[in-house]
Amino acid sequence: MWAKLTADPGTRGYLQQPDFVKMMQEIQKNPNNLNMYLKDQRVMQALGVLLNIKMMSGNGPEDMDAQPEEPTTTEREFKMPEAKPEPKPEPKPEPEPEPEPMVEEDEEERQKKEKKGLAQKEKEVGNAAYKKKEFEKAIEHYSKAIELDDEDISFLTNRAAVYLEMGKYDECIKDCDQAVERGRELRSDYKMVARALTRKGTALAKIAKTSKDYDLAIEAFHKALTEHRNPDTLKKLNDAEKAKKDLEQQEYFDPNIADEEREKGNEYFKEQKYPEAVKHYTEAIRRNPKDAKAYSNRAASYTKLGAMPEALKDAEKCIELDPSFVKGYTRKGAVQFFMKEYEKALETYQEGLKLDANNQELLDGVKRCVQQINKASRGDLTPEELKERQAKGMQDPEVQNILADPVMRQVLIDFQENPKAAQEHMKNPMVMNKIQKLVSAGIVQVK
């Protein structure tokens, strides 16, 4: 190969060119590499020399149509086109649009982009004015932005925010409604739609005067959260719901009707119609949530019905509303006594006696509690009573702490096995108080 290329005057000079030599070496190593270098006329000429063929270049359609010369006895001549990918059938040319409409469309698009750019600048100026609390100026620039570009609902939501700050709630709501409607048409970012709904809800909450008015604000907040779960929107929803509840209570508040309902409850209580009594006491509380007497009376009704947890809750609420109302302590003490929490009942009765030392109901309550506590201390309880008392005592956190104390466990062992050590323990008031607590709970029995 190299000898033929050196002997041919047309290719001899190429051997002084490094890139040509490198290409030929690559072809020598792997003949398939020939396809990579067919565009190089030097390679085509060298190929003709090696094959003893006269090569013709093909630079255009005219060359491709040229006819080959007649071959001689020693050489063949043929035309090899310039190597290139197989030509794809050219698509039929589509008719070009008329020049005038094309110019008009381009101009329209250019003007649209220009307006959008101007609208963004107006928005930026409006934002700066809003931060400086120059609200009228901000409104002016946001309005110009809206006129220039009606496809960006942020201009509307920003103007709504300014109206909200100015206290122009109707204008704010109007802008928010327009932003939501336009946003849905344009399929805008759901966060932008949620922002508009949140601002609408805020404006509606500001102008709410009745509990029903808050329903519109709450509805707007719910819709906003459907679009985007934003913590700020959720907080506004919770505030609106609380405000509605408070307003409903204010609208329902009527001390005169509360007194009438409580009296009706008293009549049913005397007739031992306790469910009906509870109904009227509940209405009295709704009409006047600060009426301690209504809670006290309802606690008595719940006690008669055996609903001790509800009775205890009402008695405690009664004392919370009026700590000087002695009846609240008799109600609470009675409930605790029926729940067989004698130590707690005793404490409640004693608290009441601090307010009225001669109150017979409280004194009788103290007497009953002491009798039950002493009865337990003497071990006079029936097996069923003892078992029930122990089960209740084990639920007491104070009893659980005493039994979990390693020192107290050793004290209890000494009381059973080491009388001398037990005598020493009895000199410690703190230890004896804990022992008394276990005795009262039925955990420890004294014989």
Looking at the chain, which residues constitute the CATH 1.25.40.10 domain(s)?
Answer: 119-252, 255-378
What 3-state DSSP class applies to 220?
helix
Between 75 and 122, residue with greater pLDDT: 122
- Alpha-carbon distance of 429 to 427, in angstroms, equals 6
**Residue 162 predicted with pLDDT over 80:** yes
Between 314 and 97, residue with greater pLDDT: 314
Which of the residue ranges 36-50, 149-163, 374-388 would you say has the lowest mean pLDDT? 374-388
Mean pLDDT, to the nearest integer, of 215-232? Answer: 94
Q: How confident is the model at residue 201 (pLDDT cuts 50, 70, 90)?
A: very high
Rounded to 5°, the CA angle 86-88-93 comes to: 155
Mean pLDDT, to the nearest integer, of 370-380? Answer: 73
The answer to whether the predicted template modeling score (pTM) of the entire model surpasses 0.85 is no
Residue range 314-369, pLDDT digits in tens: 999 999 999 999 999 999 999 999 998 888 999 999 999 999 999 999 999 999 99
Question: pLDDT averaged over the chain?
Answer: 83
- What sign results for the dihedral spanned by CA atoms 197, 200, 206, 212? negative
Question: Does domain 393-447 fall into CATH 1.10.260.100?
Answer: yes
Q: What is the pLDDT of residue 64?
A: 32
Phi, psi of 152 (to 5 degrees): -120, 105
Between 425 and 279, residue with greater pLDDT: 279
Please state which CATH number belongs to domain 255-378: 1.25.40.10
Looking at the chain, which residues constitute the CATH 1.10.260.100 domain(s)?
Answer: 393-447
Give me the CATH topology for the region 119-252: 1.25.40
- Alpha-carbon distance of 36 to 33, in angstroms, equals 5
